[in-house]
Structure 1
């Protein structure tokens, strides 16, 4: 039997090497799987097992919410409902220093609860808000930073497609993990707002004031009831149906699609193009994700079959690190990996190793899963390859460099770290709402 450290070096090292030479992630997984099957699972017989694993991995019911939440979010954006919400929040905020930055945070929080996708959230906000902010004389960090911060909220605020995928791969209750992010997500949005307030106080010229025509209270109430309240009802229906046990995450995703489509139809914003685009976007992302899951299912089994998973658990427990120190080491690993690869790949590589370790330390798995999701949110904006950095760079003003985008994201990353520390100190922030289910 090969030593577990050699096994893990072959499997993890080979995978990172394959990515480093430019192989697509899924192809890299399949290549290392074939090598591992011949080394640890008896060659040709293991190939049959690999194919069987892949079929079982993607046919699980737990993954069904992924395409549904993606369709719901894409339909929300492409039908024009997102623009209506943004315009309504703009009116309701009124005269306020750095109002466009606050508008970005507020809208991003609402969009996160209706899209489930950080990339879509960031792209939408960047396209709509950056030109207006630049026209109003906002400095780049006051325009770019709030978009990156609020864009990442979709990782933890339900319905998060990344949370569904994480829960499925880690064997965590998906409904509980989804609603666990609600309270921390709102706290994080408050942290972002406090940060904007401090930045505007330190440098008022970073977000100059401008004339804004006051809107009568009666008109504000009408705008709220017409453009905001229906979205709040949809959010409550999706999250509340999971929380109360009225619907499974899959059923709540279907409910969300019907609700968004009905609202778009009511506003005469539903057309064939929006429906086709929403389905095509969801199919593309779902297909890519499921392909990676197919490849990773055998990878996880290889880690277990070769003794790498159990060996790592024995090694980690022998170090006599406390649970908190072990948790911080996991977070540090995700932080480093986030500099070089996407979130799905990170989960597929680390969860087969992290989950047995977390279970051996008797962590509350929903609490642990939320902390890992927060670290994945951080990794969206860590240079040099954070995905949101590239999305934001693509919609930034001409002449904006990637280091400028990364610098604008830094204070918002620190806010996430502050929230992680708070969740570690007060676990009930993550477990209170799931305990009501």
Structure 2
């Protein structure tokens, strides 16, 4: 076999092994070292079994990941998210949004989506948002006689907004891989993120208006406007001020993402203390989960950079690039084919594998096809919503099923999330036809890239 054929075998074997359930990070490391040993094998200079340049590459990649300034923001944003998650702020937030939206059709669903959108900006952790909202809002909607599929779709779709809305961990990872400014990436994601959340709310209100049986209007006493404002002041505005301070400092260039994340982590601790939710046990849980998730992300990077280096050295990137060029499909065809591939990969894989392994395959081709890496990143971020929402491996559905009542079947959840897949695809088409949705704010704040 030729080296490029070995590279394609390496890629196919990786997908097969991952589907068997092996840990992603260690699979990447093992395959990178194994195939790398073959790729860099030189019997003329070999002094011992371990005298192979792949081990030097592995050590160098490990050091590069641990000293990457962009990735410093990951554990800090994670800690901020886990602290806020454990401060019981979401309960207050959901209740206050319920009061504020009480006159809208599907008011509880709207409140759930608003809570998810706000919490997504504070955590960026999809599994946590879906699980918490599944325990908090989902039973409340079922008790209010909401349709099971309708309510499940709201929770799953809203919980996935953390992939897109800053300070998304995914955006930091993409910034490190694509070697572009995370500041510009965060600015570019704001409008698409809130646009998608807005489309979700419009869909929910419209369906509830034309089919009230899906979301019956709760019978509730008239709530004074003063009480609504008071609830919003207590639950929404402190968290909103923290988020605004963090994102504002980043977008205005007053702080790097790592510095702003540090302030956010301290602000999360302060909020938890003010709400009297800060305990030693909760703090230990937040620190443990932060260390666990950060270690996973870092080892994914180490493994993926080693894997990608060997894959490229064997000629894998070249053969894929030549194949795309041979198709003679132009920029539109390239974007459609690339996004379709990412969409299909979202069935068996999560966003981490897609971003770290497969997106780097397309990145070298962006210059050839004249595609802005930031614009491509926004399309990918929108598309990755589908990796959590597409059956049969829709992780958001499984997160919700894990905390849902026993009578809620997985097929009920799958039926509920299908309309939101259509909304995501519509948003991608809209973004492609109007790139300014993603590119206007970064250019306005930071000038041309």
2:403 to 389, 395, 402: 395
Q: Report which stretch shifted further, 156-165 or 51-60.
A: 51-60
TM-score by length of 2: 0.93
The correspondence for 2:132, drawn from 124, 128, 149, is 124
Counterpart residue number, 2:429: 421
Cα distance change on mapping 1:112 and 1:22 into 2, 3 Å:
closer
Alignment deviations for residues 231-261 of structure 1 (CA, whole Å, 9 cap, x no partner): 2211111111111000111111111111222
Give 1:91 shift. 1.9
Distance 1:270 1:49 in 2: 43
Q: CA deviation at 1:3?
A: 5.1
User: Of 321, 328, 343, which aligns to 2:351?
Assistant: 343
Q: Aligned to 1:247, which of 243, 246, 255?
A: 255
Structure 1 gap segments, 5+ residues each: none
Matched, 1:39 2:47: no
1:2 aligns with 2:10: no
User: C-alpha displacement at 1:50, in angstroms?
Assistant: 2.1
Summarize the alignment of residues 36-115 of structure 1 with structure 2, pairs less than 5 Å apart: 36-42=35-41, 44-115=52-123
Is the Cα–Cα contact under 8 Å of residues 183 and 430 in structure 1 kept in the other structure? yes
Per the alignment, residue 182 of structure 1 pairs with 190
Is 2:418 aligned against 1:410? yes
CA distance in 2, matches of 1:86, 1:200: 19
Within-5 A mapping of 1:232-311: 232-311=240-319
Once residues 49 and 338 of structure 1 are traced to their aligned partners in structure 2, the CA distance between those partners, rounded to angstroms, is 30
Deviations 1:410-431 (A, max 9, x none): 1011111111111100111111
Moved >3 Å (runs of 4+):
none
- 1:430 is aligned, of 416, 426, 438, to 438
Q: What's the secondary structure of 2:384's corresponding residue? A: helix
Q: Provide the rounded CA distance (Å) in 2 between the counterparts of 1:124 and 1:270.
A: 18
Q: Distance in 2 between matches of 1:225 and 1:22?
A: 46
Secondary structure of 2:105 counterpart: coil
The 1-side partners of 2:180 and 2:219 are apart by 50
Give the Cα–Cα distance (whole angstroms) in 2 for the partners of residues 13 and 312 of structure 1: 13
Preserved CA contact (<8 Å) 1:144 1:408: yes
Find out whether 1:359 has 2:367 as its counterpart. yes
Counterparts of 1:49 and 1:155 in 2: how far apart (Å)?
31
Cα 1:21–1:148 change in 2 (3 A) is closer
**Whole-angstrom distance in 1 between the partners of 2:261 and 2:333:** 37
- Post-superposition shift, 1:89? 1.5
Alpha-carbon distance between aligned partners in 1 of 2:361 and 2:96, rounded to the nearest angstrom: 46
Distance 2:53 2:121 in 1: 46
Root mean square deviation, CA, Å: 1.6
